[in-house]
Amino acid sequence: EAAVTQSPRSKVAVTGGKVTLSCHQTNNHDYMYWYRQDTGHGLRLIHYSYVADSTEKGDIPDGYKASRPSQENFSLILELASLSQTAVYFCASSERFPEQFFGPGTRLTVL
Amino acid sequence: KTQVEQSPQSLVVRQGENCVLQCNYSVTPDNHLRWFKQDTGKGLVSLTVLVHENDKTSNGRYSATLDKDAKHSTLHITATLLDDTATYICVVGDRGSALGRLHFGAGTQLIVIP
């Protein structure tokens, strides 16, 4: 079973501040993904990556940046956090599409 | 526009009862459909995946069906346990390659009471 960890598990940020969410996987998966989950809605893809040092935009990339410095690590960056970015964020990794293994999530509250 | 609709939104059953969760979708093409279980505050764990027209799968007390013509899937949980309390999420993949996207339903919240 793939091991995907996220940090922090929860965070409170102020509007306009910078937030970095981190994801780490230990199974040498090439693909990594960032999703957000809002109450009453399905997960939506923000950014993804097929290989280290490269990222791609997902369906809702506005207001987010991503960084993949190594195969194991994938970060999501909110340069100027806004109220609308309050959500639960999930990281996932996969060896091959479409199977994905999800982390436990990070609950972000922007005040 | 939501392309994956799940019903009911929430469901309460007594331990030992059976239940059925529904998933209707409009995703095209529909390469595969997967059911996930999400415990409160946890990540998504895959229960089963359906790929072919009229596929049926079984994983312990969980069984699922897929009707690609109707773009409809059901997840059956037999003899529910308290640990089945969770949100069940239906996900449709539009391709079987890295070019594809996963389309997530909002989930059905199942609560199992003693």
pLDDT tens, residue by residue, B4-46: 999 999 999 999 999 999 999 999 999 899 999 999 988 999 9
Residue whose tokens read 């999930």: A90
Give the whole-number percent of chain A exceeding pLDDT 90: 82
Interface size, chain A vs chain B, as Cβ–Cβ contacts under 8 Å = 54
At B92 the pLDDT is 94
Express each pLDDT in A16-67 by its tens digit. Answer: 999 999 999 998 898 999 999 998 889 999 999 999 999 999 999 999 999 9
Distance from CA of B9 to the nearest CA of A (A): 9
pLDDT tier at B69, thresholds 50, 70, 90: very high
Residue A10 has pLDDT above 70, yes or no: yes
Is A13 part of the contact surface with chain B (CB cutoff 8 Å)?
no
How far is it, in rounded angstroms, from Cα B78 to Cα B63? 8
What does DSSP assign to residue A27? S
Distances (CA, A) of A5 to A21, A26, A60, A93, B34: 11, 9, 23, 10, 22
**Span B67-72, average pLDDT:** 95
Q: Are strands A106-110 and A10-13 parallel, antiparallel or unpaired?
A: parallel
Residue whose tokens read 């939104």: B9
- Selecting from B43, B45, B105 the residue whose C-beta is nearest the C-beta of A42 gives B105
Is B41 part of the contact surface with chain A (CB cutoff 8 Å)?
yes
Residue A1 has pLDDT above 70, yes or no: no
Are the beta carbons of A45 and B31 separated by less than 8 Å?
no
How far is it, in rounded angstroms, from Cα B10 to Cα B21? 10
At B3 the pLDDT is 93
Distance from CA of A69 to the nearest CA of B (A): 20
At A99 the pLDDT is 78
Is A25 part of the contact surface with chain B (CB cutoff 8 Å)?
no
Contact B91, B63 (CB under 8 A): no
How far is it, in rounded angstroms, from Cα B51 to Cα B30? 9
Q: Are strands A4-7 and A19-25 parallel, antiparallel or unpaired?
A: antiparallel
At A89 the pLDDT is 98
pLDDT tier at B99, thresholds 50, 70, 90: low
Q: Compute chain B's Rg from CA coordinates.
A: 14
Number of residues that make up chain B: 114
pLDDT tier at A96, thresholds 50, 70, 90: confident
Are the beta carbons of A40 and B98 separated by less than 8 Å?
no
At A27 the pLDDT is 84
What does the longest C-alpha to C-alpha distance in chain A come to? Answer: 38
Residue in chain B closest to A40 (alpha carbons) equals B106
At B41 the pLDDT is 85
Is B50 part of the contact surface with chain A (CB cutoff 8 Å)?
no
pLDDT tier at B98, thresholds 50, 70, 90: low
Residue A76's nearest CA partner among A24, A111, A15, A40 is A24
What is the distance, to the nearest Å, from the Cα of residue A52 to the centroid of all Cα atoms in its chain? 15
Across chain A, what does the average pLDDT equal? Answer: 93
Contact A68, A32 (CB under 8 A): yes
**Span B45-61, average pLDDT:** 92
**Span B105-113, average pLDDT:** 97
Across chain B, what does the average pLDDT equal? Answer: 93
- Convert B39-77 to b/e letters by CB count within 10 Å (16 or more is b): eeeebbeebbbbbeeebebeeeebbbbbebeebebbbeb
**Span B43-62, average pLDDT:** 92
